[in-house]
């Protein structure tokens, strides 16, 4: 069996499963957020009754993160609906925007977009927050009401996005009927060259198979090139499995995974027992390829979908109006570090927005000094508009007052993960997906630019 099949077999209580089998599996964690949470709660109450209780109050994790820093009253209200449900159900893990459990969330536009407006428990973008808060465990099953839930595949976990109806069912029963996906195998070999990042790996792979090339399939990444990647890099790659239509992504468990997960579970006091899965000799793959990482170059997915692969050096003529770094896939500390390495001591020439994925990342960037300046200050000095209000922000457009949203038919180079028409706002705007290094280099020139021309000596 493949790694995915092994996890699904165990969760189904079976010795073996194979691609195409339909199996009932037990969920280990169900995650929802402010956009899909209220709908999921509605389905749960409709189907299980107004006084029904969730199947396990310690396994439902609620993370508001999407439409938070906006004056849109309906979006603010969604956070309040989550808070009321958490109180009613006694749910343990709720990363509220405010500290007052009886309060109401109201964004204060007078304070502006850049200064922090959240309380002490707010966790930021759900997929980045889940591992930071100790909710991703190898060998487990994570369902989330968000397509990029597949990011937790970085931790040797079966993690996939589900709709509100399925999530309402999981909320009530802790189970879900799943078809076992076929597995595509990406063996990674070699090492990345300077200026080339994990984002380039996944954009390369999606370019190979197209934006629907992995529809309802598992994407397994392994080999020495995968082992050498950091946890952040694995998260970047796993996150974008869905951009090829993938059901989930999967990495092997190793010492790095163990160190990360054990530390995070201990830090947050979350459940620390887990059982990873290891590779078998009889894995059956529907597709196999080997990627030599040393041959990859800075890569861009052009408008209008993540499969429109080009090399950054081939796109030098394309002018962009703005640059954006942020999101679950591109707003991690390591992403901002590479971004800052390119920008340090220079000035951007186009509007450039920086949105850390979580408050912890804001703290990292403000506390790590390069010389006498924090990374945060280095980016501000370069002209980047950095917000402390960690969250999804303009990654998916959002209400019109969302920080960084494209409210006109502009072109943006972005470290985010999705670029279908209208994704970041205006329906005629265009998004070019790239690594943080490529976004930084492009911000310096106003054109899509290969970052290798701008690396520090
Ligand atoms: S940052 Fe973007 S991709 Fe990630 S969860 Fe938020 S909206 Fe979705």
What's the rounded Cα separation, in Å, for the pair 367 and 451? 26
How far apart are the C-alpha atoms of 434 and 414, rounded to whole Å?
A: 6
Burial class of residue 407 (count of CB atoms within 10 Å of its CB; 0-12, 13-18, 19+): middle
Same domain for 316 and 446?
Answer: yes
- Which of 252, 271, 296 is the C-terminal boundary of a domain? 296
Domain boundary among 277, 296, 315: 296
Question: Omega into 425 within 30° of 0, i.e. cis?
Answer: no
**Alpha-helix runs per DSSP H in 90-137:** 126-132
pLDDT on residue 316: 85
Write down the pLDDT at residue 457. Answer: 83
- How far apart (Å, rounded) are the C-alpha atoms in residues 204 and 210? 10
Q: In this structure, are 117 and 68 located in the same domain?
A: yes
Q: Tell me, yes or no, whether 233 and 348 share the same domain.
A: no
Tell which one of 75, 417, 419, 431 to mutate to probe ligand 1, the residue whose CB is within 8 A of the most ligand atoms. 417
| Domain co-membership, 258 together with 153 | yes
Tally of structural domains, the chain: 2
| pLDDT recorded at residue 59 | 98
Helices then strands (H, E): number in the chain?
Answer: 14, 20
pLDDT at 317: 84
Decide which of 255, 277, 296 is a domain's last residue.
296
pLDDT tens per residue, range 44-91: 999 999 999 999 999 999 999 999 999 999 999 999 999 999 999 999
Q: Is the CB of 127 under 6 A from ligand 1?
A: yes
Same domain, 198 and 307: no
Distance (angstroms) between ligand 1 centre and the Cα of 344 equals: 27
Ligand 1 probe mutation, 34, 37, 306, 327, most atoms within 8 A of CB: 327
Given a cut of 50, the residues of the chain with pLDDT beneath it are none
Query: Residue 155: how many CB atoms within 10 A of its CB?
Result: 30
241 touches 150 (CB < 8 A): yes
Same domain, 279 and 314: no
CA–chain centroid gap for 398, Å, is 17
Is the domain of 362 the same as that of 275?
Answer: no
For residue 150, give the CATH number of its domain.
3.30.499.10
Domain identity same for 411 and 277: no
Q: How far is the centre of ligand 1, averaged over its atoms, from the C-alpha of 240 (Å)? A: 11
Pair 250, 368 in one domain: no
Domain boundaries, position 275: 1-296
pTM for the model stands at: 0.98
Q: Closest by alpha carbon to 225, among 138, 290, 152?
A: 290
Mark whether 322 and 245 lie in a shared domain: no
Q: From the CA of 147, how far away is ligand 1's center (Å)?
A: 9
**Are residue 206 and residue 335 in the same domain, yes or no?**
no
Give the span between the Cα atoms of 330 and 394, in whole angstroms.
Answer: 13
- In order of 232, 291, 395, the CA distances from 187 in angstroms are 18, 6, 30
418 Cα–ligand 1 center, Å: 9
DSSP of 252-275, one letter per residue?
---HHHHHHHHHHHHHHT------
């Amino acid at each position: 069996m493949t790694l995915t099949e092994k996890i699904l077999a165990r969760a189904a209580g079976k010795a073996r499963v194979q691609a195409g089998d339909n199996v009932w599996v037990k969920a280990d964690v169900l995650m929802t957020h402010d956009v899909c949470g209220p709908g999921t709660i509605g389905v749960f109450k409709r189907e299980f009754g107004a006084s029904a209780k969730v199947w396990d109050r310690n396994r439902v994790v609620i993370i508001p993160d999407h439409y938070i820093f906006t004056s849109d009253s309906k979006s603010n209200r969604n956070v309040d609906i989550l808070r009321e449900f958490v109180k009613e159900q006694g749910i343990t893990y709720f990363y509220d925007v405010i500290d007052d459990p009886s309060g109401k969330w109201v964004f204060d536009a007078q304070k502006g977009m850049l200064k922090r407006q959240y309380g002490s428990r707010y966790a930021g973008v759900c997929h980045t927050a889940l591992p930071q808060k100790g909710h991703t465990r190898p060998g487990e099953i994570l369902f989330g009401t968000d397509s990029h839930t597949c990011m937790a595949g970085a931790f040797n976990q079966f993690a996939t996005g589900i709709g509100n109806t399925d999530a309402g069912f999981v909320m009530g029963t802790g189970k879900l009927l799943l078809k076992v996906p076929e597995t595509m195998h990406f063996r990674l070999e070699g090492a990345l060259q300077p200026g080339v990042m994990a984002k380039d790996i996944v954009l390369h792979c999606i370019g190979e198979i197209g934006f629907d090339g992995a529809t309802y399939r598992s994407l397994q990444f392994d080999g020495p090139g995968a082992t050498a990647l950091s946890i952040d890099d694995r998260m970047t790659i796993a996150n974008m499995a869905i951009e090829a239509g993938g059901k989930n992504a999967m990495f092997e468990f190793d010492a790095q995974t163990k160190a990360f997960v054990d530390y995070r579970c201990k830090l947050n006091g979350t459940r620390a027992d887990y059982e990873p899965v290891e590779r078998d000799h009889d894995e059956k793959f529907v597709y196999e390829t080997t990627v030599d990482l040393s041959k990859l170059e800075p890569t861009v997915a052009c408008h209008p979908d993540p499969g429109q692969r080009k090399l950054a050096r081939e796109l030098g003529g394309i002018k962009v109006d703005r640059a954006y770094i942020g999101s679950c896939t591109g707003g991690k500390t390591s992403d901002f570090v590479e971004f800052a390495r390119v920008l340090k001591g220079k000035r951007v020439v186009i509007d450039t927005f920086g949105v850390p994925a979580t408050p912890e990342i804001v703290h990292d960037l403000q506390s790590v000094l390069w010389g006498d300046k924090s990374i945060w200050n280095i980016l501000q000095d370069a002209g980047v508009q950095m917000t402390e209000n960690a969250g999804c922000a303009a990654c998916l457009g959002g209400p019109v007052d969302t920080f960084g949203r494209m409210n006109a038919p502009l072109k943006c180079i972005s470290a985010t993960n999705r670029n279908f028409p209208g994704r970041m706002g205006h329906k005629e705007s265009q998004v070019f997906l790239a690594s943080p290094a490529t976004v930084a280099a492009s911000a310096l020139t106003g054109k899509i630019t290969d970052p290798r021309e701008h690396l520090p000596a």
